[in-house]
Structure 1
Amino acid sequence: MSNRTAVSRLKQDYIKIKKDPVPYIVAEPLPSNLLEWHYVVTGPDDSPYKGGLYHGKLVFPREFPFKPPSIYMITPNGRFEINKRLCLSISDYHPDTWNPSWSVSTILTGLLSFMLENTPTLGSIESGDREKRKFAYNSIEHNLKDKIFCDLFPELKTQCLAEIERRKTVAQPPPVIQAAETTQTLPPLVSFCLNIGGVAAFALIVHYVIQSLEME
């Protein structure tokens, strides 16, 4: 009975989250297991996570919504350890603070809020803004290696591929633009002399012309 209740409630939450999305977050359950949801946080522009995509998962117990889910982060991010249960007031680490009225949207909103803070907890790590920005940059390629990410979030996969191509374009050196020729065209004879003998040959020709003029 409890599993049936959990599935029924999660279906309702899925409809709700599709109708009213959580800012900066998308979420999808596994087609084969409604008790395991995967989410992706888009780093807010006013944070060191800007430009990053952070994949994680929620694992719901059969007793949901009467018991809270386990929360994991999969993409390296500089705030949480990866693939480790996170100790949050909305996770299974604190069943005493859990409220059965809280939905998947509530859980994800709380997760993002805690991610943007610096409060330490079990499963959190310390890093500076510079390191977080580096994780944000690297998250694109990291997520493309994750089959579940690519399967559940095809639009984000396309977005990541486009970003990789953009980076390749930016990394290429700009084309060399040759300066326009500003020197005057030399007479054919002078040009020929410069080509075959350089300045020395040109000097001999001038000397020859001067001698010819004196003989006249």
Structure 2
Amino acid sequence: MAVPKACLTRLQKEYRALLKEWHFVLEGRDELASGVYHGKILFSNQYPYRPPSIMMMTPNGRFDVNTKICMSMTDFHPESWNPMWSVGTILMGLLSFMYDTAVATGTIVTSAEEKRTLALASLDYNLRTPIFRKLFPDWVRRAEERRKEAARARPSAEAAAPIQEGAAASTAPADPAAAPAQAPAGASASAWWWAVGVAVMASGYVGWVTLGQHQQ
């Protein structure tokens, strides 16, 4: 049975898009421990022989949003590119660069307090972004579940422990859904911070690639 031309054309279009653009989520640690950072990798037609471009979509205090980032693994430095580097290697390098202070194209300078504020707001920011909601439904589902749990727990908590006049205010985030899952007990820091979720996006298609230790 012959494949309809329209179907073949669409599949070819989706395949080309699949090769060009991957979206990912990085979970922060240490001073960025509440951060959930959405970004994308743009591959050239010559990949893996030419390096990709990387852009962050979530405000983070280290990289400007929707701006190509200059690092040794991106198209700013083709002379240092190694075709053997995988997507996981690239994202590990990006996450490491997030904690550096070197100034380069695509980086910005902010205080540690500003970074912490942006980290706390990052998940809520992502949840207001249609493309994040489409590509990362698990993140959306978990956030909505935490909000429902917080809403159910709030009346009983308020009744059990009413706030006394002059009592110190809580420093916990106002929205528990904005707080990311914590590392499992006994997990090493290196194993936890390279948990990376990657969505492969093409027109009308969403796929998943899991790199490192993916947390359910």
User: TM class by shorter-chain length?
Assistant: 0.5 to 0.7
Q: Which residue of 2 aligns with 1:8?
A: none
Unaligned runs of at least 5 residues, structure 1: 1-28, 179-216
Distance 1:177 1:107, change over 3 A: closer
Structure 1 position 160, deviation (Å)? 2.6
The 8 Å contact of residues 30 and 37 in structure 1, kept in 2 or not, is answered as: no
4+ long deviations beyond 6 Å: 169-173
Rounded Cα–Cα distance in structure 2 between residues aligned with 1:41 and 1:30: 25
Q: Which residue of 2 aligns with 1:126?
A: 109
Q: Would you tell me which structure has more helix in proportion to its own residues?
A: 1
Distance 1:87 1:177, change over 3 A: closer
Rounded Cα–Cα distance in structure 1 between residues aligned with 2:62 and 2:71: 13
TM-score after normalising by structure 1 = 0.61
Q: Aligned to 1:54, what secondary structure does the other structure show?
A: strand
Instruction: Give 1:141's match in structure 2, choosing from 103, 118, 124.
Output: 124
Distance 1:31 1:167, change over 3 A: farther
Identity within the alignment, %: 40
Instruction: Give 1:55's match in structure 2, choosing from 29, 33, 38.
Output: 38
Q: Provide the aligned length of Structure 1 versus Structure 2.
A: 148
Instruction: Give 1:174's match in structure 2, choosing from 147, 158, 162.
Output: 158
Unaligned runs of at least 5 residues, structure 2: 1-13, 163-216
Kindly provide the CA deviation profile for residues 16-39 of structure 1, in whole angstroms up to 9, marking residues without a partner as x.
xxxxxxxxxxxxx99953320001
Which letter maps to 1:36?
A: E
Rounded Cα–Cα distance in structure 2 between residues aligned with 1:37 and 1:50: 24
Q: Which residue of 2 aligns with 1:116?
A: 99
Q: Which residue of 2 aligns with 1:73?
A: 56
Which letter maps to 1:84?
A: T
CA RMSD of aligned residues (A): 2.6
Q: Aligned to 1:158, what secondary structure does the other structure show?
A: helix
Q: Which residue of 1 aligns with 2:28?
A: 43
Rounded Cα–Cα distance in structure 2 between residues aligned with 1:127 and 1:48: 13
Structure 1 position 143, deviation (Å)? 0.5
Kindly provide the CA deviation profile for residues 30-87 of structure 1, in whole angstroms up to 9, marking residues without a partner as x.
995332000100112xx21111100000000010001000100000001100000000
The 8 Å contact of residues 30 and 38 in structure 1, kept in 2 or not, is answered as: no
Greater relative contact order, per chain length (Cα 8 Å cut-off, separation 6+)? 2
Q: Aligned to 2:39, what secondary structure does the other structure show?
A: strand
Rounded Cα–Cα distance in structure 2 between residues aligned with 1:31 and 1:151: 20
Which letter maps to 2:158?
A: P
Q: Aligned to 2:20, what secondary structure does the other structure show?
A: strand
